[in-house]
Structure 1
């Protein structure tokens, strides 16, 4: 938009600025006397002894000055400004058609911020979830249902919570939950609440309600401490469940602590993952949850044929990864081939991000521990 407007609108504003500034200067000079001005000299000296306070122009005087500024424009200048404005307006109206003519992007394409020479990279690493393995929307329903059951069975939430259903149209990536006020929101690049993206439960808040609750749309540093980010794909079910719990308490007119709602839901989500309930549910019906990609095996073999080293690093347990890879590649791999032959190293239950920061050595099997008789200094 700024590109289309730069030709006409900026020219018009610059022209008006050149006209207004001299008049503004003349207004300021009216508050001073010209006593002591040297006639015919190369300079002008003004004194402020005539008046120590600036004069305030009346509204009628300001209107006259603006009228004089308009009258000082020649017909040629006015015509040029009008032509520039009309040209910018026409280009602005052409934007929808221009967008339709743009080539459509590949939704499965990979986009990077910097150019990378892939032939100079010798080692390629892969995660499992949402990298090698892609899931259908049924996965979010599974996580949602298991988590709400845990809330009712273990945290003693009302049995009516079991009636909740996951709504795939509600959550998006990059949401924030306010633990102090119970609002689920989307923030823009500048850290301000988007007007169509602030919900209390499942009800969207109006601008007046946002201003009443936060005072301003911008989230300050103190308020940001109360926000938790729901960033990745696994957070869809968590965001939806939080909103449904809040809405349930609001409809039932029950007092609740928004902070505890988040902590309980988050603990329930973590439990269904760490306990293996989600993994076992996926492996019990792989076609329902896993999406096959016919290009996966071809891509991995291409890297191997180029002499690249491949490794798989995932937080998921090995039995889960093994079952998923077998399902996704069983139609392409031969009977005697194994998906593990595609990778030089496979690391499961890596405990990322601690894997990158901790200094624990790799361990295999059981380590016999016994007391040492003495220490030797080297």
Structure 2
């Protein structure tokens, strides 16, 4: 249904459609070019790539993360209280525990402990529920090395389910869509500990929190206006989402003029189309050659799931790889088949490929392990401040935690300066698996696509427009 409406809008004016087709034909032939030598490892240019994929949520579509997390928390809490009978204290505003929020926390599901870990797996800080654990308590539970073995297993792929069929023992909170669930779970643990029954040997609270969280995002809820999350976005998009600047729109058009571009989103096509229209305007589809929805990352990059045609907002028949078209919209799929399409379109045997996204596991680690270069969107750069650049974050206070410390460095060696000071598990991902780390696409839209940036290497830092302030004092 969404695709049909988009098509109808494009067909309203035949002359405009003809111009668009001529432009598209020109662009396609312009992209079929002799591959240029790749630049040095310590430099980066968007123009060096034969194809570039963009995530939608928190990349093309920039959310007002403070407001979106407040919405998410309220919906999770209401579900837990009214459906499962949890204590009504969960309904208190999340602002009372906003300091608890930080990307990258890991929940020890059975013990009810939240852990912030280093890039070697060592537990830097921890809480039981929302209550801070002392050094002695951490040592008592996790040993003198402050290492929990499941974290070491998790670090290899950053998957909460490393072994299919085995019940997971941890849950990581990787982005702004699941971070509020950590507060709900921690508050529920506090309530259990304060009850007549008291603390438990093993907690089983996360299962209920997970159901409550997933209920918000069920694919069919968008079309039926259920679950609370999608209706709120539809009714008040300006409260939760930023519109793209004209500068960013020009930059995206310049990228598409030069190379093949993909919009690869885990969202369903109806929701993805809805927010893309709000962010980029009614011509949003013209900014990308191919759109892929319900991509199910990280599996999109490392599995061989087939592409599907779309029938309205639902999946249709499987698309044979040889029938894929560069200008279509699909559901599901995999990177290998998409790359083969680029080979055929661009006439390049080994296309230089780039993916840009915010999810450090799905959008940075996973594609890098499959041979793509990546650019990491790290909003904490703007929230905590960058050296030499005044860019700030509207939700900066919501993304900074006095308890957990900096996203980038916690309880590290103060004598070490620069990126070497980074010691947290999640902040180390861009260092190892990205070429650049930026607070938003608006940061690079200031410059032409041929602009040369310093990339992450042994000698250079890829944080742009500047290193996190905490690394230099």
Can you list the C-alpha shifts for 1:235-283, whole angstroms capped at 9, x where unaligned? 3201111111111222234345754211211221112112443222212
Assess if the C-alpha contact under 8 Å between 1:152 and 1:159 holds in 2. Answer: yes
- 1:343 equivalent to 2:294? Answer no
- 1:243 equivalent to 2:186? Answer yes
Q: Which residue of 1 aligns with 2:233?
A: 282
Q: Which residue of 1 aligns with 2:63?
A: 135
What is the SS of the residue equivalent to 2:188? helix
What is the deviation of 1:138?
0.6
What is the deviation of 1:287?
1.1
Q: Which residue of 1 aligns with 2:256?
A: 304
Q: Which has the higher contact order (CA 8 A, sep 6+)?
A: 2
Under a length normalisation based on structure 2, what TM-score does the superposition of the two structures give?
0.48
From the superposition, tell whether residues 116 and 367 of structure 1 become closer, same or farther in structure 2 (CA, over 3 Å). Answer: closer
Q: Which residue of 1 aligns with 2:13?
A: none
- 1:230 equivalent to 2:173? Answer yes
Distance in 2, matches of 1:233 and 1:314, equals 16
Can you list the C-alpha shifts for 1:194-220, whole angstroms capped at 9, x where unaligned? 1xx211122111112222333325214
Can you list the C-alpha shifts for 1:26-45, whole angstroms capped at 9, x where unaligned? xxxxxxxxxxxxxxxxxxxx
What is the SS of the residue equivalent to 1:199? strand
- Mark the runs of 5 or more structure 2 residues left unpaired by the alignment: 1-40, 154-168, 318-473
What is the deviation of 1:323?
2.4
Query: How many residues are treated as equivalent by the alignment?
Result: 249
What is the deviation of 1:329?
2.9
Distance in 2, matches of 1:175 and 1:240, equals 11
Can you list the C-alpha shifts for 1:53-85, whole angstroms capped at 9, x where unaligned? xxxxxxxxxxxxxxxxxxxxxxxxxxxxxxxxx
What is the SS of the residue equivalent to 2:52? strand
Distance in 2, matches of 1:223 and 1:123, equals 34
From the superposition, tell whether residues 193 and 117 of structure 1 become closer, same or farther in structure 2 (CA, over 3 Å). Answer: same
What is the SS of the residue equivalent to 2:189? helix
Assess if the C-alpha contact under 8 Å between 2:265 and 2:292 holds in 1. Answer: yes
Assess if the C-alpha contact under 8 Å between 2:139 and 2:146 holds in 1. Answer: no
- Greater Cα shift, 247-256 or 113-122: 113-122
Distance in 2, matches of 1:129 and 1:364, equals 21
Distance in 2, matches of 1:290 and 1:270, equals 21
Q: Which residue of 2 aligns with 1:16?
A: none
Query: What root-mean-square deviation, in Å, do the aligned CA atoms of Structure 1 and Structure 2 show?
Result: 2.8
Q: Which residue of 1 aligns with 2:386?
A: none
Assess if the C-alpha contact under 8 Å between 1:311 and 1:345 holds in 2. Answer: yes
Can you list the C-alpha shifts for 1:301-347, whole angstroms capped at 9, x where unaligned? 11123x322111112122322222222234xxxxxx61111111112
From the superposition, tell whether residues 162 and 257 of structure 1 become closer, same or farther in structure 2 (CA, over 3 Å). Answer: farther
Assess if the C-alpha contact under 8 Å between 1:176 and 1:184 holds in 2. Answer: yes
- 1:315 equivalent to 2:249? Answer no
- 1:360 equivalent to 2:295? Answer no
Q: Which residue of 1 aligns with 2:90?
A: 161
Q: Which residue of 2 aligns with 1:92?
A: none
What is the SS of the residue equivalent to 2:296? coil
Distance in 1, matches of 2:77 and 2:244, equals 31
From the superposition, tell whether residues 220 and 163 of structure 1 become closer, same or farther in structure 2 (CA, over 3 Å). Answer: closer
Distance in 2, matches of 1:257 and 1:235, equals 26
Q: Which one of 64, 71, 75 corresponds to residue 146 of structure 1?
A: 75
From the superposition, tell whether residues 254 and 132 of structure 1 become closer, same or farther in structure 2 (CA, over 3 Å). Answer: farther
Q: Which residue of 1 aligns with 2:101?
A: 171
What is the SS of the residue equivalent to 1:169? helix
From the superposition, tell whether residues 309 and 201 of structure 1 become closer, same or farther in structure 2 (CA, over 3 Å). Answer: same
What is the deviation of 1:117?
4.6
Assess if the C-alpha contact under 8 Å between 1:283 and 1:320 holds in 2. Answer: no
What is the SS of the residue equivalent to 2:214? helix
Q: Which residue of 2 aligns with 1:208?
A: 136
Distance in 2, matches of 1:242 and 1:355, equals 30
Assess if the C-alpha contact under 8 Å between 2:87 and 2:191 holds in 1. Answer: no
Distance in 1, matches of 2:151 and 2:269, equals 41
User: 5 Å matches for 1:17-28?
Assistant: none
What is the SS of the residue equivalent to 1:168? helix
Distance in 2, matches of 1:367 and 1:269, equals 27
From the superposition, tell whether residues 314 and 202 of structure 1 become closer, same or farther in structure 2 (CA, over 3 Å). Answer: same
- 1:124 equivalent to 2:52? Answer yes
